[in-house]
Homo-oligomer: A and B are copies of this chain.
Amino acid sequence: MKFQVGCQLKYDLTTDSTFIFNISAVNNGSQQVLEEHLQIEPAINSEEYVSSTLKNRILRLTAPPGKLQVSYQATVALCLGEDNPNLIPEIPPKKLPLRVLNYVYPSRYCESDQLFNLANNEFGHLLPDYSRVTAICNWIYDNVTYLSGSTDAHTSAYEIVTQRSGVCRDFAHLGIAFCRALNIPARFVSGYAYGLEPPDFHAVFEAYLGSRWYLFDATRLIPRKGFVRIGTGRDAADMSFATIFGTAQLEGLNVSVDCLTEEPPQATLGAITCV
Show the binding face of A for B, using Cβ within 8 Å: 18, 20, 47, 49, 51-53, 58, 60, 62, 92-94, 98-99, 101-102, 105-108, 110-111, 113-115, 117-118, 121, 143, 145, 153-154, 158, 161-165, 183, 233-234, 237-238, 243, 245
Task: Indicate if the CB atoms of B162 and A115 lie closer than 8 Å.
Answer: yes
CA distance A261 to B182 in the complex (A): 47
Contact call B121/A143, Cβ cutoff below 8 A? yes
Interface SS majority for chain A: mixed
A117 — nearest CB in chain B belongs to which residue?
A: B164
Q: Please indicate the chain B residues that have their CB under 8 angstroms from the CB of A161 in the complex.
A: 162
Q: Is the CB of B153 within 8 A of A113?
A: yes
A233 to chain B, nearest CB (A): 8
Q: A102-B238, A237-B106 are in contact. Are A94 and B162 (CB under 8 A)?
A: no
Given A47-B98, A106-B108, A183-B245, residue A163 in contact with residue B117 (CB < 8 A): yes
| In the complex, residue of chain B having the shortest beta-carbon distance to the beta carbon of A164 | B117
A6 CB to closest chain B CB (Å) equals: 23
**A162 touches which one: B60, B158, B183 (CB < 8 A)?**
B158
A114 and B154 in contact, given A18-B93, A98-B49, A143-B121 (Cβ under 8 angstroms): yes
